[in-house]
Amino acid sequence: MDSLNRVAIITGGAVGIGRAIAIELAKEGCDIVINYNTSAEKALTLVEEIEKYGRHAIAVQADVGNFEDAKRLVQAAIDQFGGINILVNNAGIVADNLMLRMTEEQFDKVINTNLKGVWNMSKHALKYLLKANQGRIINITSVSGIMGNAGQTNYSAAKAGVIGLTKALAREIASRGVTVNAVAPGFIETSMTASLPTETVESWKQDIPLKRFGSVEEIAQSVAFLASEKAAYITGHVLTVDGGIVM
């Protein structure tokens, strides 16, 4: 595997899509830094699971929306593993509401985590990625940042911002051999969608050309591809993994 002995940081890595990405990259031979904010127990359980694949892992608590927390997270990776090859900016939150009802706090909180968190992590990791073999930044955005979604002016704005950040940074550092790409998931099967009424889920599926939700593993496999040598000539790209909903 071309990922063997590389080091990957996954923000928001303890649950859901982040967890699946951590496992997939560990299977590909990466050592993993799992970032979490509040899911300490799940992060430590994931560390144990990754070690079953013969890779090393650590869990680091940090709020990536906080500049100093993000710096501390990157430093923890350097202290433990000596370098970083892959940064996956996955951490994200939602605080949905119609704009008429959305509070300034709801807007600021989502922008701070979902957009500024990507900037914070990329800023602190960049000097190490520029020294890395096959340096990769992969940002998890969303189809909401491409097509918009009612009740998500904060989330859609943040995810659209991540796309702009991805393209701008890709241009800045392409000459240094580091690629920057984004993955935009559509409707994905998670614990949140599992709790929705069946009729709501079926209604949403009718809008998806493939007529199903995606899996967290399908997102993880897309990230693993962009992190691999096979994607060495891809940068500034947004890969939609969405069943065709925004084609």
Record the pTM: 0.96
Q: 77-88 burial, b for 16+ CB within 10 Å, e for fewer?
A: beeebeebbbbb
CA 2 remoteness from chain centre: 21
pLDDT at position 5 is 82
Active site residue 155: yes
Model confidence over 57-116: pLDDT tens digits? 999 999 999 999 999 999 999 999 999 999 999 999 999 999 999 999 999 999 999 999
Catalogue all structural domains in the chain, each as residue range(s) with its CATH number: 7-241 (3.40.50.720)
Going from the first residue of the chain to its last (247 residues), give the mean pLDDT of each consecutive group of 10, the final group possibly shorter: 80 97 97 97 98 97 98 98 98 96 98 98 98 94 96 97 98 97 95 79 93 97 97 98 96
Q: What is the pLDDT of residue 223?
A: 98
Q: In what order do the strands lie in the sheet with 57-61?
A: 57-61, 31-36, 7-10, 86-89, 136-140, 179-185, 238-241
Exactly one of 36, 53, 155, 233 is catalytic; name it: 155
For residue 239, give the 3-state DSSP assignment.
Answer: strand
